[in-house]
Structure 1
């Protein structure tokens, strides 16, 4: 029993999902940094939207320490920003992953608290998940670190079992964080009168920042579609943790999450938020489930290729017979 427990704890799990999360999350953060590159001094500079005096006062009250406490000079912001872009690129491609994750977390943490008025729920959960990702093995797959490690032989460290336990614990906490997010969001929706009445999506889509011209009007003019979207959103979020308890309904939870966030990203102009949330969904499948999906995909692909070839051969033989 003890041997089985030790084997269970000391075996790294969800390595593929963690690596996919790293790549997807890094892509989103890199887009965020490049998108705001020209306006970085306006958003985070000493004379920008949130001046240094107010930033220092607010962070002092909350007990927050960031890199911007070291200096408020424009050259320092430029240095932090460019180092951040480099760190996120390394993080995304998986080069020196552990070090790149540390720098990515520090940069994102500092930018998040330097101007908290331009953040959203997506930035908040990224900040939390990045912290736990510091303790996980995020560069095992789809990374330069893996390519480089295959070229050299390395002996296992004595600390390897402890590293595995730490990785598994970090992954578990990140999954629980995601589950808690969906559950609490669903519960708060249930308590809202607009969600109970089936009109919440209508009023949310009427906010000017969330309008998709030509599409939003078509959606909110359909009473049945509005009610369906409202109730299905609540049902998905409340049932999400229970769907994960079964190996088959888990795929339904993932499909629902992808559809839900894709719809939110497109219809409500929250593309980056949805990208962040979808990035975390990769954690919900085990390595064996990913291998099973890949195997099934290869089987379906080979059958499809064989079918196309057979049809082409039949057409060719028919042409020869007619000719």
Structure 2
């Protein structure tokens, strides 16, 4: 517990800034063709017909353009924490504008971006690098994101334990069987078998219950993260929920400290993109 809480996490925020910025930029670009439907109150009953959201919907082209420029600045590291805060604001507005397209990943990311606005993610891979001591506020922001991830897992585990379908062991089968290509899936032989399907069902509950202690304990940290990545890659492949799965998987990087990232990052990449930035 002490090892997990006391070690620095100054490297990954810079990586997360670029990757999550790219995810949001791709999502923005893919949403533009649907603007005619999303911002038509006659076709989208969830669209607010008053206030700021109505104004943004009426001027969607300007909103998309400004949001896109902010995301590019965020990825490049211009504007530092002010730009990061604008990304949080525009992501929030985007959620209100595109409610029919919302995923659980958007909800998770909303809070993470709020905390991330106070994190120092500009020490590396940024055109405007920060120097000097890593401030306490930034450490607190990263710790808040880590706690947020833990709460998400504990909440999901609690929900599954109290949900009737998960208790009966049929939730996994229902999740897979709702998709038309299920019978041609490589998972069909496993999921269609009652015993195996229920075993996977209860294993997922156990995995979510044990995620927090396994991540905190150094000896099982990599195993817990790798297992979660496999589960989410499987869901992304089978269900096509690319944004949700990528958002969740990108959060796992915060669970590793600087020493662990230094062992993962290849030496040439570290020398060219991190060590030089650190010494500048």
Q: TM-score normalised to the size of structure 1?
A: 0.73
Whole-angstrom CA distance in 2 between matches of 1:12 and 1:243: 17
The 5 A counterparts of 1:229-244 are 229-244=200-215
State which of 38, 53, 57 in structure 1 corresponds to 2:33.
Answer: 38
Tell me the residue number matched to 2:17.
Answer: 22
Q: Deviations over 1:164-195 (max 9, x none)?
A: 11101111111111100001101211122322
Whole-angstrom CA distance in 1 between matches of 2:183 and 2:78: 41
> Are the equivalent residues in 2 in contact too, given 1:55–1:115 (CA < 8 A)?
no
Whole-angstrom CA distance in 1 between matches of 2:7 and 2:218: 20
> Are the equivalent residues in 2 in contact too, given 1:12–1:167 (CA < 8 A)?
no
Q: What secondary structure sits across from 2:124 in the alignment?
A: coil
Q: What secondary structure sits across from 1:143 in the alignment?
A: coil
- Residue 91 (1) aligns with residue 91 (2): no
State which of 108, 125, 128 in structure 2 corresponds to 1:145.
Answer: 128
Whole-angstrom CA distance in 2 between matches of 1:100 and 1:12: 27
Q: Highest Rg: 1 or 2?
A: 1
> Are the equivalent residues in 1 in contact too, given 2:116–2:141 (CA < 8 A)?
yes
Unaligned runs of 5+ in 2: 268-280
Deviation at 1:110, TM superposition (A): 0.5
Over aligned residue pairs, what C-alpha RMSD do you find?
2.8
The 5 A counterparts of 1:1-323 are 13-45=8-40, 48-50=43-45, 54-56=48-50, 67-68=52-53, 70=55, 72-73=57-58, 76-146=59-129, 156=132, 164-208=135-179, 211=181, 214-215=184-185, 217-294=188-265
> Are the equivalent residues in 2 in contact too, given 1:15–1:141 (CA < 8 A)?
no
Tell me the residue number matched to 1:307.
Answer: none
Deviation at 1:246, TM superposition (A): 1.2
Deviation at 1:258, TM superposition (A): 0.8
Whole-angstrom CA distance in 1 between matches of 2:56 and 2:151: 37
> Are the equivalent residues in 1 in contact too, given 2:119–2:138 (CA < 8 A)?
yes
Deviation at 1:293, TM superposition (A): 3.1
In structure 2, do the counterparts of structure 1 residues 12 and 188 end up closer, same or farther at CA, with 3 Å as the change threshold?
Answer: closer
Unaligned runs of 5+ in 1: 1-8, 57-64, 299-323
Q: Deviations over 1:261-285 (max 9, x none)?
A: 1111112221210000011111001
In structure 2, do the counterparts of structure 1 residues 253 and 45 end up closer, same or farther at CA, with 3 Å as the change threshold?
Answer: same
Q: What secondary structure sits across from 1:28 in the alignment?
A: helix
Whole-angstrom CA distance in 1 between matches of 2:16 and 2:111: 14
In structure 2, do the counterparts of structure 1 residues 212 and 206 end up closer, same or farther at CA, with 3 Å as the change threshold?
Answer: closer
Q: TM-score normalised to the size of structure 2?
A: 0.83
Whole-angstrom CA distance in 1 between matches of 2:119 and 2:19: 16
> Are the equivalent residues in 2 in contact too, given 1:105–1:127 (CA < 8 A)?
yes
